[in-house]
Structure 1
Amino acid sequence: MSEQELGITESKEHNPGEWYAEVVQKAGLADYAPMGGFIITRPRGYALWERLQGYLDGWFKETGVQNSYFPMFIPESYLEREKDIVEGFDPEVAWVTHGGHDELEERLAVRPTSESIITPFIAQWVRSHRDLPMRLNQWCSVVRWEATETKPFFRTKEFLWQEGHTAHATHEDAWEEMMTRLHQYERLYEDVMAIPGMLGRKPEHDKFPGAHTTTTIEALMPDGKSVQAGTSHHLGTSFAEAFGIEYTDEDEIERTAHTTSWGLSWRALGALIMTHSDDQGLVIPPELAPTQVVVVPIWQADTEDAVKEYAADLAAELDGEFRVDYDDRDGRNPGFKFNEHELNGVPLRIEIGPHEVDDGEATLVHRPDGENEVVSREEIGDAVRDALDTVYAKLYAAAEENLEENVREAHGRGEILGTIGRYGGYVKTGWCGDEDCEAVIKDEIAAEIVMLPLDDEEPVHDTCGICDDGAEETAYFAKSY
């Protein structure tokens, strides 16, 4: 690839859609598949998913979750046992009707989600209160045949995710489970991805089909749109009743279990790319970066041996603690290497030239803003650790500022529409609870209620911002991915 081909030609500020697609492809994260709506995840993109997966998987296991795997095909009769699932997902279900040349006796759904295949087996495995709680998770792909334009990681017909499914003795235990997972998603976004999240719940008409409560973490993108970054559902007893999850309690009385489900998809990668990256390419927080540090020796003919030896020793020392790449390629000049590593999102670059060798130093360059600092060779480990912490802090601060500046109050149809149209972001207003009031805004400007506050706090206005009836709660409107 030439230096010209490395460059990002689109502008994040003026053309975010085309810019995003260019970053995804030029940074080697994904390509478009020959079938519309699907993508091919390249090694660098999959490495990001693996690192994200590693954090969540570890936290899940620390809190009693066990991994499992269920078939990707779900018999139609299983799907139909929970009517809300059928109604909620029917337009998006892909069906298998033939096996080889033979027509199947029963259609098989390619899983849009797995409640209807996992819950019946939980029902078989749970007999007593001693079997509870049961916590299962699977890492897999699902298919939802949406007729929308492909946006890698944000919107594809097939996507990777994890889906957790649990059964509990009481409503309160299931509620605690739902909130535990929501806070783990928040931890992932804030501590690992450097993206502040807003926690809330979905309105009744936008809950997971059949759920008692759907909670969400929302993340605001720089283009003013919200991303549903992860969801956690309290399913009440609806699924347990449909699939027969019964247990005997301590008094030998038969009870119905309470279930939850919760999931986070590779949409998180889309949020990561969109939030931090810039017109030079990909930007990745240090915790997720496949390569955290790249060491680039810069030499002339008479200094080559000394510079390379010094730089190689430094890279080897750091490699035990950090994920390090030592780039001593002969066929590329330093400028090309700098641009390539910036495009690929390496958080920290260490430049070693003759002056660094003579002075026993190293020059550290931060990816987000090009800030550089000269540190002594003896303190390189601590200096790199501090620099990576600083890179994370810069990324989080920029995302936090974007969020804080883009939550606005509005009241009245015209003011709500005007505020969203001009600024994007979140607009909070009083809401009467009627879906028709959301539709007024949604039809006009494609913004919807993305969340309601988790707690029963007083509405921000006494009356509904659309119809002027009494407000029951605060609604956050936004355009979303």
Structure 2
Amino acid sequence: MADNGGKKPNANAKAKGSGGGGGKKKEVKKETGLGLTKKKDENFGEWYSEVVVHGEMIEYYDISGCYILRPWTMAIWETMQTFFDAEIKKMRIKNCYFPLFVSPAVLEKEKDHIEGFAPEVAWVTKSGKSELEVPIAIRPTSETVMYPYYSKWIRGHRDLPLKLNQWCNVVRWEFSNPTPFIRSREFLWQEGHTAFATKEEADKEVLEILELYRRIYEEYLAIPVVKGKKSENEKFAGGLYTTSVEGATSHCLGQNFAKMFDITFENEKGEKAMIWQNSWAYSTRTIGVMVMVHGDDRGLVLPPKVASVQAIVIPVPYKDVDTEAIFDACLKTVETLNEAGFRVEADLRDNYSPGWKYSHWEMKGVPLRIEIGPKDLKNNQVRCARRDNSAKVDIPMNNLVEEVKEMFAKIQQNLFDVAKQKRDASIQVTRTWDEFTEALNEKKLILAPWCDEKEVEEDVKARTKGEIGAAKSLCSPFDQPDLPEGTLCFASGKPAKKWTYWGRSY
């Protein structure tokens, strides 16, 4: 849990308050929790908790593992939703909504699928004080909710493809180490469920959706990803195969669910055939990944593309100056930038010092701070300070829109480049078991040659199991490095078939 008391901001960011004095400072500190008490490199878990609370992304709720998503978070989610929804509509995928509740008979119909979710399924057992005759499950995912109706709606080849998506919440009753965004008992997501006449159509869509997920991560959240395929052990329960960018997955379900729910159609030859299905989803977990990748010891760092407020304008008045003229310049700057299509606000509160405001908006991760003081007013300019690298530059007012647009592009690209450099630096290529375990203990992202056998992966998990979690395969990248003939699997000594990324499951 975050320490809501916080810590005093830097000397140049102390709150003076309207009346000044130590008492007022203490009151402001208590109100805002300004300043982090933990450092990212020293206590990552507690740092993360502080950042998402002090950055006003979430508030803790009185049910463990459930969190209030504040407007600062919802604006990010809505930006990603707007992009993704428009793209899937271009693919003729339509939105729908299915109920939250699932009957036990339907949920348990697909054994392999529900076994993967059984420990996380929440059940409604009472109505008021009366016990329900038959308990009702709350969806952990919607295959078993939707597919009985696909069976009803799909009769002939003219009913295909059937391509539906829903924006909804799901409940997975996590019991171990709930973490905002990353491991919560309820979260928001989209889930697409599509049906085709042929495997070729399904395979094509799997990769098209995966590319959209790559774009969300790389173009919007400025996080580099690796597109690849999950192992048999790590694939979606009940599916044929799973592709991934690690924060979002696109599954080919094959015909397993079609068999279980009797989803058949009459093809063009008049023959009865099974459909081919896909399912795919990304969730609010993506936001947690963004916080972890870009955040620093001052708080959130938001990419301009998803930031609720892309720039904050702050007046910097001195004694005996025309504050009204400075405030007017701030409002004019906001108006100009908003008219140009940017998301910009001014912080004109007079009970906080400019320094305190700097720290406050830095904590919330606003990409750009625009300062206007007497000197700026005189020179018809503004001073801009970037959140990502703290660089400052003076910009003429008559060139403001073009300069700010370019600055946002540079911030977005720099966040991606820095994240990629850190990611690449953390990758360790290993070829032997000893090299693998050493890299694992150093918390590296490991790329190792693998024989692609389920039993070997299970053995790796068993041999590496410890207090901080066992090793697990992440994905085999589509873009495979060269695998010289005779290369052996790091774990079994058998001939290697592919390179695969590995890490610890925490």
The residue type paired with residue 472 of structure 2 is: E
Is the 1:458–1:473 contact (alpha carbons within 8 Å) kept by the matching residues of 2? Answer: no
The one of 274, 277, 281 aligned to 2:292: 274
**Do residues 210 (structure 1) and 238 (structure 2) align?**
yes
Which residue is 1:132 aligned to?
A: 160
Judge conservation of contact 1:75–1:109 (CA < 8 Å) in 2.
Answer: yes
Match of 1:223 in 2: none
1:411 is displaced (CA, Å) by 2.2
Moved more, 164-173 or 3-12: 3-12
Q: Residues 420 and 427 of structure 1 are in contact (CA less than 8 Å); yes or no, is this contact kept in structure 2?
A: no
Query: Is the alpha carbon distance of 1:162 and 1:432 closer, same or farther for their aligned partners in structure 2, counting shifts above 3 Å?
Result: closer
The answer for the alignment partner of 1:72 in structure 2 is: 100
Q: How high is the sequence identity, in percent, across the aligned residues? A: 36
Does residue 49 (structure 1) correspond to residue 77 (structure 2)? The answer is: yes
Which residue is 1:340 aligned to? 360
Distance in structure 2 (CA, Å) of the matches to 1:134 and 1:233: 16
8 A Cα contact 1:30 1:42, kept in partner: yes
C-alpha displacement of 1:52: 2.0
Q: Work out the CA distance in 1 between the residues paired with 2:481 and 2:418.
A: 29
Deviation at 1:469, TM superposition (A): 1.9
Query: In the alignment, what sits opposite 1:235?
Result: 253
Q: Is the 8 A contact 1:411 1:430 kept in 2?
A: no
Task: Indicate whether 1:2 and 2:7 are aligned.
Answer: no
- Post-superposition Cα deviations, 1:421-465, rounded to whole Å, max 9, x if no partner, equal 125223323335133333245415622111123378764772110
Q: Deviations over 1:33-80 (max 9, x none)?
A: 222222222222222222222222221212111111111111111112
What code does the residue aligned with 1:406 have? Answer: S
User: Matched residue of 2:260: which SS?
Assistant: helix
2:383 counterpart (352, 356, 363): 363
Contact kept, 8 Å, 1:427 with 1:478, in 2: the verdict is no
Unaligned 5+ runs, structure 1: 219-228
User: What is the TM-score normalised by the length of structure 2?
Assistant: 0.89
Equivalences for 1:391-470 in 2 at 5 Å? 391-433=411-453, 434-444=456-466, 446-454=470-478, 459=483, 462-470=487-495
C-alpha distance after superposition, 1:250-271 (max 9, x if no partner): 2222211100000111110110
| Aligned counterpart in structure 1 of residue 117 of structure 2, from 85, 89, 98 | 89
Question: Runs in 1 of length 4+ with deviation above 6 angstroms?
Answer: 455-458
2: CA distance, partners of 1:241 / 1:472: 31
User: What residue is the counterpart of 2:348 in the other structure?
Assistant: 328
Note closer, same or farther for the CA distance 1:230–1:442 as it changes in structure 2 (3 Å cut). farther
Report the CA distance shift for 1:455/1:257 in structure 2 as closer, same or farther (over 3 A).
farther
TM value normalised by structure 1: 0.94
Structure 1 counterpart of 2:327: 308
Deviation at 1:470, TM superposition (A): 2.1
Task: Measure the CA separation in 2 of the matches of 1:454 and 1:100.
Answer: 52
1:382 aligns with 2:402: yes
* 1:294–1:350 Cα contact (<8 Å) kept: yes
The DSSP-based 3-state class of the residue aligned with 2:82 is helix
Report the CA distance between 1:311 and its aligned residue. Answer: 2.0
Aligned partners of 1:292 and 1:275: how far apart in 2? 19
CA distance in structure 1 between the partners assigned to 2:156 and 2:324 by the alignment: 71
Q: What's the secondary structure of 2:405's corresponding residue?
A: helix
Question: 1:189-268 maps to which residues of 2 (within 5 A)?
Answer: 189-218=217-246, 229-268=247-286
The 1:316–1:399 alpha-carbon spacing in structure 2 relative to 1, beyond 3 Å, is same
**Matched residues in 2 for 1:421 and 1:427: separation?**
14
Moved more, 269-278 or 460-469: 460-469
Q: Which residue of 1 aligns with 2:16?
A: none
- 2:141 maps to a residue whose letter is T
Matched, 1:181 2:209: yes
Specify the alignment match of 2:143 in structure 1: 115
Q: Tell me which residue corresponds to 1:474.
A: 499
Structure 2 CA distance for aligned equivalents of residues 161 and 305 of structure 1? 46
Aligned to 2:309, what secondary structure does the other structure show? coil
Query: Deviation of residue 405 (structure 1)?
Result: 1.4
Distance 1:51 1:59 in 2: 13
- Which residue of structure 2 aligns with residue 161 of structure 1? 189
Query: Aligned residue for 1:221?
Result: none
CA displacement 1:186-238 (0-9 Å, x = unmatched):
000000000010111111122111111011112xxxxxxxxxx0011000011
